[in-house]
Amino acid sequence: MTLETVLFYVLGGLAVLGALNLILQRHPIHSALSLILVMASLAVLYLLLGAEFIAAVQIIIYAGAIMVLFVFVIMLLNAGEEERTNLSRMARYVGLPVAAVLLSGLAYLLYRAWPVDLLVQPHPSLGQTRPLAEMLFKDFVLPFELTSILILIAVLGAVVLAKKEL
Amino acid sequence: MTDWLTRNAVFVITLAKIGLVLFVLLTAVAYLVWVERKLIAHIQSRWGPYRVGPHGLLQPLADGLKFLFKEDIFFPHATSRFVYLLAPFLAVTLGLMAIAVIPFGSGKFELLGTQTGLYIADINVGLLYILAVTSLTVYSVALAGWASNSKYPLLGGLRSAAQMVSYEIALTLSVVGVLLLAGTLSLRELVEAQQGHWGGLLPRWFIFPQFVAFLCFFISGVAETQRLPFDLPEAETELVAGFHTEYSSLKFAMFFMAEYAHMITASLLVTLLFLGGWLSPFPAGEFWAFTRYLPAAVAAGLAVVFLQDSFHHQPLSHRVLVILVGLALAGVAWGLFTGPALLELVQGPFWLLAKAAIFLFIFIWTRATLPRFRYDQLMAFGWKFLVPLAVLNIMVTSFVVAWGAD
């Protein structure tokens, strides 16, 4: 096994464990920390694919900005531990098996349509800064600008909601 | 054995470099505390540390031992023991991680049959890596505040989270101007883009065309390291000690080390981005050739200072220590004067560290002279002054760059 394969399994395992922990933890801060672990493992997985820029941006945006806000809000509201209710009978005996069947069906279909080695390939330059910038600002400039306008509108909406009189 | 070494040369060399850089960085952190105490003392007409060793030079060792032997109070009311322990580890790990991509010079040398340079990792997105790592440090402070389950740390943690998120925007935006001029995210190429001189005299450093960006970057850098006048998260007059109130012994020392490591990283980064990094300020050419001997001259000068100073120290042990340091410096100077290869290798680190020292001095100087911001002033300054200024700088710079491209 090459070093890359070992790293892939370790990081994939960390990401899955983090995601599971995110659901199973009862305290919001612990859940948020698990989510950060997932983000960080994903970033290193991007790095393994040679996408340096995307890896760094993944950390800066998700772990460094969005999750900081999550943690900030949880601290500010002083959210306590969740009350754990017993699963309803219907959820336990019908919901979980159905969810499992659905997920495995989806996974199987995805795998049949695009085999794994086709789905994820290290690309020599796609994740680097310059090719990515050329794609964003030449080929996909209209969707990119539309997205930024959408985000701007969302920010305006948040400001208006938060501060009724300006 | 040698066969194994040459086959895994990259791995072994990287490990060795990590060890060396960590050793130097941690020593620098310890002695930065000494420098800070000494400088502030002299600014305030005091002597500062004077008892432990000549001129208090062994004070960092004494401080370290003191941290080690202090009672380690495991705060019993912590909201979450895991997070309470995680916070200081996170602080020190992230503080030391950022140094990995700093290039210390352009010099190349051959080791174990592999060509290698004066850096641990030379990655294409070095600048983004540093921004990413420093953007994570906010967790250590915020989580420390939260896990301590105590009102002052919580307030400190909240303040820190808000402050770091706000000033990170100004920090990142102010870098964009430099990136527009250099067209790269690699720290090595950023420095190489600053080579040469205007009119054969003024170095082509980005501080001159990007002075506004430099001001924004340095101010936000000070805010990001949470040093005075931006040390609201640990304002002792309001919050006892802020986020680390409930930490003692080595766990407190970890926060302490992280802060000084961040100062060093910030100074190195400012130097790399705006002051030409490892480049010498003097133009190349026959006339300025003598400036290549400056590192040797500085070592020789320091040796003379130490040896001369040794006459003034009373206990024999102190005198011997000072003489030994002086002799070591003299040895370094001798090596530099006689070995051209060594002198060549030392040029980069010498200039980089000399320039970074200026910023470290400013860090300490502001702490000794400026009062602390009020919290609303801090937020208003960041959002209403620094961010618009940085955006304006981006607009002007991109206009000029686009103008020049046509």
CA distance A48 to A36: 19
CB contact under 8 A, A72 and B162: yes
B247 inside 8 A of chain A by CB: no
Per the CB < 8 A criterion, the answer to whether B5 and B12 are in contact is yes
Of the listed ranges A21-30, A113-122, B26-35, B175-184, the one predicted with least confidence: A113-122
Between B200 and A119, whose confidence is greater?
B200
What's the confidence (pLDDT) of residue A118? 63
Whether the predicted pLDDT of A89 surpasses 80: no
Tell whether the model's pLDDT for residue A166 goes beyond 80. Answer: no
Count of CB atoms situated within 10 Å of the CB of B107: 15
More confident residue, B263 or B374: B263
Specify the 3-state DSSP secondary structure of B107.
coil
Which residues of chain A from 39 to 68 reach within 8 Å of chain B, CB to CB? 52-53, 55-57, 59-60, 63-65, 68
Angle of the B249-274 helix axis to the B211-224 helix axis, nearest 10: 170
How much is the pLDDT for A106? 92
Q: Which residues contact A44 (CB under 8 A, 6 or more apart)?
A: A7, A11, A55
Least confident of A113-127, B117-131, B173-187: A113-127
Are the C-beta atoms of residues B53 and B318 closer than 8 Å to each other? yes
Mean pLDDT over all residues of chain B?
84
Integer Cα distance of B103 and B194 in angstroms = 14
Alpha helices in chain A (DSSP H): 3-24, 28-48, 52-57, 67-77, 89-90, 96-113, 116-119, 129-134, 141-162
Q: Where are the domains of chain A?
A: 1-84, 90-124, 128-166
**With contacts defined as CB-CB under 8 Å, which chain B residues touch A57?**
128
Q: What is the mean pLDDT of residues A152-164?
A: 87
CA distance B26 to A117: 44
Q: Mean pLDDT in chain A?
A: 83
Identify the CATH class of A1-84: mainly alpha
Closest approach of A57 to chain B, Cα-based (Å): 7
Facing B124 at nearest CB: one of A65, A76, A128: A128
CA distance B101 to B119: 7
pLDDT of residue A15 exceeding 70, the answer is yes
Best residue of B82, B128, B171 to probe chain A, by most A CBs closer than 10 Å: B128
In this structure, what is the dihedral angle of CA atoms B399, B402, B405, B406, given to the nearest 10 degrees? -100
Q: Structure tokens of B46?
A: 């005091």
Record: contact B136-A63, CB cut-off 8 A: yes
CB contact under 8 A, B80 and A29: yes
Kindly tell me if the per-residue pLDDT of B140 is higher than 70. yes
Q: Compute the average pLDDT of residues A132-153.
A: 90
Tokens representing residue B227 in the block: 């040093």
Q: Which residues of B touch A71 (CB under 8 A)?
A: 139, 142-143, 146, 161
B83 to chain A, closest Cα gap in Å:
8
